[in-house]
Amino acid sequence: MTKILVATQKPFAKVAVDGIRTEIENAGFQFELLEKYTEKKQLLDAVKDVEAIIIRSDKVDNEVFDAAKSLKIVVRAGAGYDNVDLEAATAHHVCVMNTPGQNSNAVAELAFGLLVFAVRNFYNGTSGTELKGKKLGILAFGNVGRNVARVAKGFGMEVYAYDAFCPKTAIEEAGVHAVDSTEALFEKCDVVSLHIPATAETKQSINYAMVNKMPKGGLLLNTARKEVINEDELIKLMQERTDLKYITDIMPDQNDKFVELFAGRYFSTPKKMGAQTAEANINAGIAAAKQIVGFIKDGCEKFRVNK
Ligand code: 3PG
């Protein structure tokens, strides 16, 4: 029988796992589950005879494709697929998909949880500031960016966005001020919220010169990827500019240094929490299961991201 594996180091909510199981079994396939694994070998063993895998931020590289002799499709239940080696997938004739939009509200809500926490001085009892009337810059106007804009309007923020791949007219149609460049966004906004994927172009792009463009008291929020930050340069800048704050949902490699140097100006969640809601897990997990069923039964390749 066709086996479909859910392999998640960071597990979905149980209700989502149950939903995925039902979707897969109703289609006549066998459901397999590998959760909270700690060694790569566990993944390599689990993929041996499966035709499809649902993952989250789990790394799927050439070694995994080599071990998975029957594999036809990998679906990343979520947006970013920088954890999957797309070239290796194509070389192994494996289709890779993501599930765009399915967890974006969860990430946007967490962004505001973190923002309120930051501007109220981490709830330390002192007077903080409000978000109302502040300028928010959204870097990349995809599914998460759009949700962030929607929530920001409820807070009464002035919302700006830049997206290298989205026309200005589409941003303006969403009731958001479009600016001409990433630099312009940083120059203009009190708060910048990152929603760019980790690509060759974006990695390390949030650097000293970029963040230094922010006005006094600037707050940088990262619910995207740690790789887009140039950590050495951000540390150097925050040492020079004691007005800046950095809040992130993806712990930097140099977390200890940030903690030591920037008390009251830095916070990281211990584990990426953006998509960790039952709703997001259900939406993304079941979408992934449906996409696999559609691919195996009907050859549907919607949401394919590799060649
Ligand atoms: C995504 O790319 O969808 C988000 O970063 C969520 O990732 P996660 O599924 O590992 O929480």
Sequence letter at residue 276: Q
- Cβ atoms of 214 and 221 closer than 8 Å: no
- Cβ atoms of 255 and 281 closer than 8 Å: no
Q: Report whether residue 78 contacts ligand 1, using a CB cutoff of 6 Å.
A: yes
Sequence letter at residue 4: I
What is the pLDDT averaged over residues 83-93?
Answer: 98
196 token code pair? 């760019």
- Cβ atoms of 54 and 295 closer than 8 Å: no
Q: What is the pTM of this model?
A: 0.97
pLDDT value of residue 233: 99
What is the pLDDT averaged over residues 73-77?
Answer: 99
Which SS3 state, helix, strand or coil, does residue 259 take?
helix
Which of 20, 103, 147, 193 gets mutated to test ligand 1 (max ligand atoms within 8 A of its CB)? Answer: 103
What is the pLDDT averaged over residues 61-87?
Answer: 98
Q: Report whether residue 223 contacts ligand 1, using a CB cutoff of 6 Å.
A: no
Whole-number Å distance, alpha carbon 30 to ligand 1 midpoint, is 25
**What's the full length of the chain, in residues?**
307
Q: Return the domain boundaries, the chain.
A: 3-102+277-298, 104-268
DSSP secondary structure string, 131-158?
A: STT-EEEEES-SHHHHHHHHHHHHTT-E
pLDDT value of residue 117: 98
- The DSSP symbol for 227 reads G
pLDDT value of residue 259: 98
pLDDT by residue (tens digit) across 115-150? 999 999 999 999 999 999 999 999 999 999 999 999
Q: Report whether residue 34 contacts ligand 1, using a CB cutoff of 6 Å.
A: no
Sequence letter at residue 41: K
What is the pLDDT averaged over residues 217-230?
Answer: 98
| Homologous superfamily in CATH for domain 104-268 | NAD(P)-binding Rossmann-like Domain (3.40.50.720)
Q: Report whether residue 137 contacts ligand 1, using a CB cutoff of 6 Å.
A: no
Q: Report whether residue 103 contacts ligand 1, using a CB cutoff of 6 Å.
A: yes
CATH number for domain 3-102+277-298, candidates 3.40.50.720, 3.80.30.20, 3.40.50.1970, 3.40.50.1360: 3.40.50.720
pLDDT value of residue 162: 98
For the chain, what percent of residues have pLDDT higher than 90? 100
pLDDT by residue (tens digit) across 242-300? 999 999 999 999 999 999 999 999 999 999 999 999 999 999 999 999 999 999 999 99
- 3-102+277-298 and 104-268: identical CATH topology: yes
2 token code pair? 């066709």
Which of 12, 53, 57 gets mutated to test ligand 1 (max ligand atoms within 8 A of its CB)? Answer: 57
Sign of the CA dihedral with 122 first, then 149, 162, and 222 last: positive
Q: How confident is the model at residue 60 (pLDDT cuts 50, 70, 90)?
A: very high
pLDDT value of residue 62: 98
Whole-number Å distance, alpha carbon 241 to ligand 1 midpoint, is 31
What is the pLDDT averaged over residues 58-69?
Answer: 98
Q: Report whether residue 229 contacts ligand 1, using a CB cutoff of 6 Å.
A: no
pLDDT value of residue 229: 99
pLDDT value of residue 50: 98
pLDDT value of residue 295: 98
pLDDT value of residue 238: 99
